[in-house]
Amino acid sequence: MLKRYIESGDALEASSGSKKRKTDRGSGQTSTVEISKCKLTTDDYTIGWICPLEVEQIAAMEMLDEEHERLPQASTDHNVYNLGSIAGHNVVIAGLYQAGNNPAATVVTQMRMTFQNLRFGMLVGIGGGVPVKTENGMIRLGDVVVSKPAGGHSGAVQYDHGKARAGKFERIGILAPPPVVLLNAAQDLAAKRARSRTDPVQDNIKRIDTRIRGLRKYKNPGTTKDYLHEPNYIHSKPELTCDQCGCDPLKRIPRPTDDGDDDDGSYIVVYRGTIASGEAVVKDAMLRDELAEEYGILCFEMEAAGALTDFPCIVIRGISDYCDSHKNNQWHGYAAVVAAAYSRQLFFHMLIGEVKRYVLASAY
């Protein structure tokens, strides 16, 4: 199939009634000029961007080319939406009132009733990584994991935390695969990035001006703050950080420094494969590794199973912890940004017409 690839900044197919916002964010400078927002109709929006946490919503909004005015919604729709466009695609950003699969299912249902032309969704946010060695290196904090069918799975599996056997998962279910349009976009982006001297995802990260007080939390903590401990080494005081708790640095697995330029932050490392979604937070490295080995899981999160019940989505997670007892919030901001920055770039690898023609039922 012949596809036309669109690079950031190139001319795009016109989106109905949208007004371009002029910014110079690629240089790291954020425009402070208030712009007048344009107003579309609910039918103009084709892609849903779902992000569970406020830190993720802010990162998502920073990725918009232009912001649109809010639109009236039914009294039964309690979601808060932020509207805008990226690369000519009109996108609805929806947050969750709390993390988890049930809130995700509710938000998606309401969003689809209000925005009836939504073709598919992107679940974008942070997740817990599995530090497995892949052909792309070992998954570390600040990397991105994207759902993709692999190893006989659809790209996303559901786990339930069994009550009968403490610490064991009782059930694994297969969730719907990502929409073909997005799988193709991810593949195309991967090919483009492999051949590029500069990383467009890294350029997107620079859209967030971390000199602004409210955006400081999005700074990259740095590789020296990437603590991966041996699976059987337990963090004793959950309320404290590893440094405060006195976790032994000798029990850490060093971040490789001989992987070319991966570690200098100039190129965001992206893995594509199976993501696990469940109700329980995984904070046990032994359990993490056991499940990961059995199902080829690269990342754990808590919303996909809810959102995917009747809406095709791709899951995009920035890695903020390792699902072990040492888990803390230090990497939340930066992990949210890398996920949002990768997601933004996907829009440049989808044709507007292709998205509009995408039939929901074709994913099932």
Residues that bind Zn ion (CB under 5 A): 235, 242, 247, 326
Measured from the CB atom, is 148 or 235 closer to Zn ion? 235
Q: Which amino acid is at 58?
A: I
Q: Is 248 exposed, middle or buried (0-12, 13-18, 19+ CB in 10 A)?
A: exposed
Closer by beta carbon to Zn ion, 9 or else 254: 254
Region at 332 (left for phi over 0; alpha for psi -120 to 50; beta for the rest): alpha
Min dist. Cβ of residue 59 to Zn ion (A): 26
Kindly tell me which of 192 and 251 has the beta carbon lying closer to Zn ion.
251
By the 10 Å C-beta count (0-12 exposed, 13-18 middle, 19+ buried), 158 is classed as buried
Residues 6+ apart with CB under 8 A from 341: 59, 63, 201, 202, 204, 205, 207, 268
Find the largest Cα–Cα distance for the chain.
59
**Nearest approach, Cβ of residue 200 and Zn ion (Å):** 35
In angstroms, give the least distance from the CB of 351 to Zn ion. Answer: 47
- Of 146 and 242, CB closest to Zn ion: 242
**Which residues are within 8 A (CB) of 324 and not within 5 positions of it... i.e. 6 or more apart?**
229, 231, 235, 283, 284, 285, 288
Give min distance, CB of 293 to Zn ion, in A. 23
Which residue matches tokens 């990961």?
292
Question: What is the nearest approach in angstroms of Zn ion to the Cβ of residue 208?
Answer: 28
d(CA 163, CA 255): 35
How far apart are CB 237 and Zn ion at their closest, in Å? Answer: 8
Nearer to Zn ion, 106 or 241 (CB): 241
Angle of helix 332-347 relative to helix 180-194, nearest 10 degrees, comes to: 100
Q: Which residue has the tokens 């916002």?
A: 21
Closest CB 130 distance from Zn ion, rounded Å: 18
**Which is nearer to Zn ion, 51 or 242 (by Cβ)?**
242
Nearer to Zn ion, 8 or 328 (CB): 328
Residue 211 or 237 with smaller CB distance to Zn ion: 237
Residue 80 exposure: Cα atoms within 13 Å on the Cβ side: 11
Q: Specify whether the CB–CB gap between 251 and 229 falls below 8 A.
A: yes
Neighbour-count burial for 213-230, b at 16+ CB within 10 Å, e otherwise: eebebbebeebebbbbbe
Minimum distance from residue 141 beta carbon to Zn ion (Å): 14
- Both tokens assigned to 255: 């971040």
